Structure 1
Amino acid sequence: MPSSRKDFPLKTTKMATLEEVPLTVSGGGDSQDEAADTASAEGSSPSPKNSTPGSGQASLLDSGEDFEMLNNEDEEEWLDVLGNGGLRKKVLEAGKGLDSRPRKGQNVRIHLKTSLADGTVVEEEPNLSFTLGDGDVIQALDLTVQLMEMEERAQVQTEAKYAYGAMGSTAPSVPPNADLTLDLRLLEVTDAPDLELLTPPERIALADRKRERGNVYYQRGEYAFAVNSYGIALQVTESSSKVDISAQEEAELLDVKVKCLNNMAAAQLKLDHLEAALRSCVSVLAHQPDNVKALFRKGKVLALQGEYTEAIRDLKSALKLEPSNKTIHAELSKLVKKHSEHKGAEQAMYKKMLGNPSPAIPQKHRGKSSWSVSWKWLFGATAVAIGGVALSVVIAARN
């Protein structure tokens, strides 16, 4: 029966048998040490004290309990946060109990020290504050801090994909694909502020911070996280307020909102979320009908949806506002060409659906037939005219 240590970092009284141990060893920096412990345990002989002849009682080592203690004691201290060995947490100093753990949406303040695998310290933040679950920090922090208790000190080992990934980072200085060790202490937990009670400058600053975090994700190619950050920023800008706001502050808040919507549309385009991107562009244009970025991206979305006429119209509107913009020129030229090719393909398809028309009549016969029809009409008209005159004469004579 497997233990539950993947869910709880507490030691269990259930000891694994020799056959179970290899299944419980997770990947990480301790695997080589554990392998050495295993080999040592398997090669050991029972101590005289625990193997008294005739005692009829197996030693602790024979029963597997000593093996578990030697091989898996350190492993029991690690919590495999995601169950894949890529993110592990170990308590170094206990906190104030489970009830003191922070919840998503709350603000936390931590002491953070970040080290590379070789022990090089690349970052130390004595008072790092962020909102849990908002994506303000690397995933490793967002996922593990919510498992910490107040005043707890913990060590976290994270693979690169939960930290700075394949790109690495310049601040802090982290090379690409670097696994990290984080030393954390949870210092403070507070509820997030009520958006309705924030002053206009506070709302503007908060929305702008979330937007800038979205920009970081966008530049790293993490577009889903970017959309999440932009969405949080929009919630701040769109929330109702119980505090008076001046016209200038309202304009500043709208400016942040428009930037978020434009950036969100760009990220949604990268994710091929066309309907969502179109809604973002339409929202921008509802506030600023001459917003070039929104017109341009709306045109791109419509083109991808096959709405070429409307797409060309929007791109022409954008080009009219910025005639020297080479990007718009290139996109419009490409779209006009594609639209022409599409129309040609449609015409060819319709002809194929209707079938080939009957062979054309040779020019010689067609000419003869045309003259024949003309003469027939001429003779017919003359006969009608003569008949009419004769009838008039007869009527006049009777009268």
Structure 2
Amino acid sequence: MFCTQIIKPGNEDSFKPNRSDICRITYEVKIKDGGHIVEKRDQVKIYLGDNEVLQGLDLALTLMHEGEECLLQISPRFAYGETGLKTGESLGLVGEIDGSKYEGPAIGPETWLEARLELHDWKEEPEHETLPIAERMEIGTRRRARGNWWYGRGEAQLAVQLYRRALDVLDESDGGITDPTPSGELTPASDALKALLDERIRVHNNMAAAQLKAGAYEAALQAVTRVLQCQPNNAKALYRKCRILNAMGRNSEALEAARAAAAAAPEDPATKKELQRCEQKANRDRSVERRLAKRMLGTSDQPKGSSPDKKPSRTKMLVWGSFLLSLLVGVASVIVYRYKIQSH
């Protein structure tokens, strides 16, 4: 990625924005040499460094002054990567929960893009505790939606980054819902705070899936545990807990979680399949344990009347050998004794 032209200089006396600053931008992204418009947004607000826009745009903004407009050439690495973008796929535009669909020709892993980018202004991110609940909800939801987009593209690490940023603004402040009471019930709260809790639970659940995909099993287990603390019968969380425990080799705990998930969502095919897989693994584990125990105790799996294995055959031969040796020694003793009598 590199800047090919500064279309309009910015205020060079102003500072450049930093990570997490709120930037108000206008941009248009086209396929280089093709001219087809991929994305176009006007006066949109983004949080710098959150990958709410293409990485090429995100990086370019850190080098721009307020009011600057430039033309960029964006390499595939900082655009749609090796996955590319197919016709009909979601663009994952920030602020759009459902997501606009791409309607142009397929963008391959080697497709360069051209972007026109303008930084109107920027400001520092405020303390989350000072924001109204409705605004915190809006920010957290948009970050979750963008994280889902990255997760769907196989970018688990970028998804985790967005989910963590969502939790930054959704986590509790004074007067909010904290932990369940000893009875398992949540403390009384307003509808707005309950909605905030529900959104936070969705983010933790999604983050557990992304961390599992990234191989961060301990972190994934912590995320799913937070969900189950508030919603013990959350089928999605129980299913993901099962998969996480399986990946960690904790098979008996995984089976317990799978049974709980199946009880919470008895008609869900994925949950049924996971339970069957766990039960089959448990049966294999028990079979292996039985074989090991019998080997340690020296017992045999052979049924009565069947041919003995090699170990009993050797024992039997040794017994017969000892018996015959004793018999021969006895006969020899008698012969020697008679010989001596005749000599005298």
TM-score range, shorter chain: 0.7 to 0.9
Counterpart position of 2:150: 217
Q: What RMSD over aligned residues (CA atoms) do the two structures have, in Å?
A: 2.7
Alignment of 1:287-366 (within 5 A): 287-349=230-292, 359=312
| One-letter amino acid matched to 1:263 | N
What are the Cα deviations for residues 285-308 of structure 1, in whole angstroms up to 9, with x where unaligned?
011111111111111111222222
Residues 57 and 117 in structure 2, CA contact (< 8 A), matched pair in contact too: no
Q: What is the CA–CA distance in structure 2 between the aligned matches of 1:195 and 1:132, rounded to whole Å?
A: 16
Supply the AA of the counterpart residue of 2:312. Answer: P
Distance 2:189 2:155 in 1: 36
Letter of the 2:80 partner, please give it. Y
2:169 aligned to which of 236, 243, 247? 236
Kindly report which structure 2 residues correspond to 1:59-138, keeping only aligned pairs within 5 A, or say none. Answer: 87-90=1-4, 91-97=6-12, 99-122=14-37, 123-138=39-54
Whole-Å Cα distance in 1 between the matches of residues 75 and 274 of structure 2? 40
Kindly tell me: are residues 268 and 226 of structure 1, through their superposed partners in 2, closer, same or farther at Cα, counting changes over 3 Å?
A: same
Contact 2:242 2:257 in 1 (8 A): yes
Give distance in 2, aligned partners of 1:262 and 1:200. Answer: 21
Deviation larger for 88-97 or 166-175: 166-175
TM-superposition CA deviations, 1:65-88 (whole Å, max 9, x none): xxxxxxxxxxxxxxxxxxxxxx11
**Of the candidates 113, 116, 126, which is equivalent to residue 183 of structure 1?**
116
Q: In the aligned structure 2, how far is the partner of 1:111 from the partner of 1:325?
A: 44
Q: Answer yes or no: is the 8 Å Cα contact 1:195–1:236 preserved in 2.
A: yes
SS in structure 1 opposite 2:312? coil
Q: Which runs of 5+ in 1 are unaligned?
A: 1-86, 363-399
Contact 2:255 2:275 in 1 (8 A): yes
Q: Which residue of 2 aligns with 1:41?
A: none
Q: Distance in 1 between the 2:69 and 2:3 partners?
A: 10
- The reply to whether residue 144 of structure 1 matches residue 60 of structure 2 is yes
Q: Quote the residue 2:227 is aligned against.
A: 284
| In 2: Cα distance, 1:352 partner to 1:99 partner | 78
User: Is 1:200 the equivalent of 2:143?
Assistant: no
Identity over aligned pairs, percent: 32
**Is the CA contact (8 Å cut-off) linking 1:195 and 1:239 kept in structure 2?**
no
Corresponding residue number in structure 2 for 1:250: 193
**3-state SS in 1 of match to 2:121:** strand
Q: 2:79 aligns with which of 157, 163, 169?
A: 163
Q: Which has the higher contact order (CA 8 A, sep 6+)?
A: 2
Structure 1 residue 347 displacement after superposition: 3.8
AA at the equivalent of 2:148:
N
- SS of structure 2 residue aligned to 1:103: coil
Task: Answer whether contact 2:176 2:189 (CA < 8 A) is retained.
Answer: no
Query: Could you list the runs of 5+ residues in structure 2 that have no partner in the other structure?
Result: 90-100, 178-187, 301-310, 317-344
Gap change, CA 1:214 and 1:97, over 3 Å in 2: same
Q: How many angstroms does 1:181 deviate by?
A: 0.6
Matched letter for residue 359 of structure 1: P
Larger Rg: 1
Task: Report the alpha carbon displacement of residue 140 of structure 1 after superposing the two structures with TM.
Answer: 0.6
- AA aligned opposite 2:223: S
- Displacement of 1:144 in angstroms is 0.8
C-alpha displacement of 1:350: 5.0
CA contact (8 A) 1:111 1:125 kept: yes
Alignment check: 8 A CA contact 2:26 2:117 kept: yes
When the two structures are superposed, what TM-score results if normalisation uses the length of structure 1? Answer: 0.64
Contact 1:198–1:243, Cα closer than 8 Å, also in 2: no
| Structure 1 residues 373-392: aligned runs within 5 Å | none
CA separation in 2, counterparts of 1:131 and 1:88?
21
Tell me if the contact between 1:315 and 1:328 (Cα under 8 Å) persists in the aligned partners. Answer: yes
SS of structure 2 residue aligned to 1:100: coil
